[in-house]
Structure 1
Amino acid sequence: MRKFLLFVGGLVALLVLLVNLGPMVLLGLSIWLLYIIFKKFVKSDSTAGKIGWVILGLLVLGMAFSNIYAVLGIAAAFALYWIFKNWKNDDSDPVVDSDEDDPFRNFERQWAEMNN
């Protein structure tokens, strides 16, 4: 049942990610443009140039806020990562015999603890 729920959750997250792929690209582009505009603003010497860069920056900032739905896509990508990471996570202990003093006998348990 756990694998089925993870599978359904993965499908939903994949659909949300695919639907929000365009806004994610535009959000990344607008953040990159804001960085470029900020660098040009700092290098500008004239007051008119600085005012122009501020106006352009506000326009690009408006473009960034219009793509705020990209955060849903980022959350869906994180959910897909989490589902992929927990897909093969078994709750069973690989070694039934427990002798804590012998590391060779409990190698499977120690290896499972290192991987978690």
Structure 2
Amino acid sequence: MKKCALLVAGGVAAIVLVANLGSIVGLAISLVIMYYAFKKFVQAKTVVKKVFWAVLGLIALSAAASNVPAIIGVAAAYVLYIVYKKWNKHKPIMEPVDDPFINFEKQWAELKRNY
């Protein structure tokens, strides 16, 4: 039953991830552009260059904000990762704590000594 639930959750997460793959790529590209624009803005010496990099950063920010469904896709990727980890989790093999034959040997030795 647990494997069936994991299979269903993994299937739904995979479908959501594939459906939002485009917006995830768009979000990643816009975040890279925004990071680059911020770095260039900090390094710029003139006001014109600072304005240019600020405008480019704002455009990248608006592009990142328009890719909000990518957050759902990233959450689906995380759920898929959790399902993968739970699916491959092995139950530990239980070793016998008290072997009945060892006890039997001890008791047999005690009986032999007493008689």
Count the aligned residue pairs: 98
Gaps of 5+ in 2: 99-115
Distance 1:88 1:52 in 2: 51
Higher relative contact order (CA closer than 8 Å, sequence separation 6+): 2
For normalisation by structure 2, the TM-score amounts to: 0.78
Deviations 1:21-71 (A, max 9, x none): 001111110111011111211221111221121111111100000001111
Amino acid at match of 2:93: P
Specify the alignment match of 2:62 in structure 1. Answer: 62
- Tell me the percent identity: 41
Gaps of 5+ in 1: 100-116
Structure 1 or 2, whichever has the larger Rg, is: 2
- For the residues of structure 2 that align with 1:30 and 1:70, how far apart are their CA atoms? 12
Pair 1:97-2:104 in alignment: no
C-alpha distance in 2, partners of 1:95/1:56? 61
* In structure 1, distance between residues paired with 2:44 and 2:88: 55
2:113 corresponding residue in structure 1: none
- Distance in 2 (alpha carbons) for counterparts of 1:88 and 1:55: 48
C-alpha displacement of 1:88: 3.5
Structure with the bigger percentage of helix: 2
TM-score normalised per structure 1: 0.78
- Root-mean-square deviation over aligned CA pairs: 1.5
Q: Return the letter of the residue paired with 2:17.
A: L
